[in-house]
A and B are shown apart, each in its own frame.
Chain A
């Protein structure tokens, strides 16, 4: 069975696995933003927390993905469904780029601008959402871009614990020793990663603060 005939015969399944893949990655990314960006902001305010927070995120990222899935399996509620487990694992992997880029983006805002804002009587909160976050947006988006591209690749492994997604085709192809089936999972995942990279890259440009001429 060659690649094209496999794809055309199974296009519905491929489409639904792609959707599932996209769903897992999107939810994981959203959660990582919700957790990671505030953590990144927090460590700009409390410098003493910076090293421990980054260290923990770093350590999480060094855990091999299969092992992380395994570790999370006994967790209540999360462990009951493979999809939840995959989302949690991908979220944890995405935290490091979110936290680090949020921190770097805010720390990179020109000191003169921050000082002017403080001197104008902006409250801490106003400083954050009117000045720091908008000026850090493109750096934060760069972190999101890295996280999404990595997650799309990692999500294929989530199929090993039955979370679905395009990894299912890859694992099926591996057991069948059939390259066409492997490619039917790998190629859509690769295309998804490339598209995400281009799309978020475009957003990144759009949100870049205007530079001095």
Chain B
């Protein structure tokens, strides 16, 4: 637990049990720093999404501490904590009754920004995620899946939070759109240098995006390593995961 003040998101011995006693996460220790993309990799039910939701307290751990900027999430004001953290998910969760501009500008609106400042920020964000500003007056159902995901990312970035949580944000997209978005996302992160925690079950995505890959299995951390180390690992569970994706060459790290 060195460097606790500098680390932006840290899991310290975090466990999470359901009320019935079923263990979802067991003594998780992980850390993510600025400029990093920490990928939580694992199959369905491995606990990766739960781990993500502990960071912005959509769930609360049964024991251990999650530290955000060196402070336990339990000591943060809940609303401030969440406004400090962007959140983008596979289902996007755009508000169907709000225009795109209102969807993106909601957190700034809640933070009482001036109208002109919000409008300028919305325009800036649309450009940042590669969308034309004419869509700002449309509604989510009038956009394509890829456009909605971009809006979801723009919304998560709206108030410029230093931390971004992403739960398979590109999961529901066709392969071409997904790889476009992944590439743009990497460039974006190079520019923004956020702390990103990214949940996926897709090894290719993990290798492409991750600076650290944490493999979870049954609520336990199997390994946490760089993509290069990950594909070379001799750990049997890591091997199993890598081999499941074999056939396509995962050793080549496709960072363009």
User: Which A positions have Cβ atoms within 8 angstroms of B?
Assistant: 110, 112-123, 126, 130-131, 134-135, 209-213
Residue of B nearest to A212 (CB): B141
Q: Could you say which residues of chain A place their CB within 8 Å of the CB of B112?
A: none
Q: Could you say which residues of chain B place their CB within 8 Å of the CB of A117?
A: 93, 95
Q: How far does the Cβ of B68 sit from chain A's closest Cβ, in whole Å?
A: 13
Show 9 residue pairs from A and B whose CB-CB distance is below 8 angstroms, ordered by the A residue: A112-B92, A115-B58, A115-B89, A116-B87, A116-B95, A117-B95, A118-B82, A119-B87, A121-B110
Q: How far does the Cβ of A131 sit from chain B's closest Cβ, in whole Å?
A: 6
The 8 Å CB contact of B110, one of A114, A122, A135, A209, is: A122
Q: Is the interface of A mostly helix, strand, loop or mixed?
A: helix
Residue of B nearest to A134 (CB): B97
Q: List 19 additional contacts besides A114-B93, A116-B93, A119-B87; criterion CB under 8 Å.
A: A110-B93, A113-B95, A113-B96, A115-B58, A116-B92, A116-B94, A118-B82, A119-B82, A119-B85, A119-B165, A120-B87, A121-B78, A121-B82, A121-B83, A135-B96, A135-B97, A210-B96, A210-B141, A211-B141
Q: Could you say which residues of chain A place their CB within 8 Å of the CB of B142?
A: 210, 213
Interface string of B105-131 (1 = CB under 8 A from A): 011001000000000000000000000
Tell me if B93 and A113 are in contact (CB < 8 A): yes
B36 close to chain A: CB less than 8 A: no
User: With A117-B95, A131-B95 as given contacts, are A123 and B79 in contact (CB-CB < 8 Å)?
Assistant: yes
Whole-angstrom distance between the alpha carbons of A210 and B106 in the complex?
A: 18
Q: Could you say which residues of chain A place their CB within 8 Å of the CB of B26?
A: none
Tell me if B89 and A112 are in contact (CB < 8 A): yes
B33 close to chain A: CB less than 8 A: no
Tell me if B79 and A209 are in contact (CB < 8 A): no
Tell me if B82 and A209 are in contact (CB < 8 A): no
The 8 Å CB contact of B58, one of A113, A118, A123, A212, is: A118
Residue of B nearest to A116 (CB): B93
Q: Could you say which residues of chain A place their CB within 8 Å of the CB of B81?
A: 121
Q: How far does the Cβ of A124 sit from chain B's closest Cβ, in whole Å?
A: 10
